[in-house]
Amino acid sequence: MNQNTRIELMDTMIEAIKKISENNPGALTACMDLLKYGDQIDPDNLLGGFGNLLTLDAMGIYGTDIYVLWSDICDRNVAKMITILRAFQLGFISDEIVVNASHRQDYSGKYMINISELYNKVKETLPNFDPKNKSGFTFVQKLN
């Protein structure tokens, strides 16, 4: 895990987003999606969508790498991204794999992470995860 986190306790939400997104427009969009849909997809996350930003910071995923994770690996589907972050928190995937996959700008990182397998493990551990597909994404329907 990254020991040099960027988000500090006194940061505002805007400061935290700027720090981890490195002002990358795609990363900014991903962070806003995490904040907007985080509570709906993962109601058990004590800090809501902000908890996802803290997880990215703890893993050392910033800027372009956030964009690659969200866009290339997760197909711009925030439910998939939150699945990966929650799977990391629960110990189902290592930060090394997620960081490595997120650092690949040639789409090869997509094949390093089996999101549907992680989703099933997260859902089994946290039954409230992505309840009734309230996020509006079709991701869950494809898994069944």
Q: Where in the chain are the domains? A: 13-143
Q: Where are the alpha helices (DSSP H) in 44-114?
A: 49-59, 64-67, 78-89, 95-102
pLDDT over 50 at 134, yes or no:
no
- Whether pTM > 0.85 for this model: the answer is yes
Read off the pLDDT of residues 76-122 as tens digits, 9 standing for 90 and up.
999 999 999 999 999 999 999 999 999 999 999 999 999 988 988 99
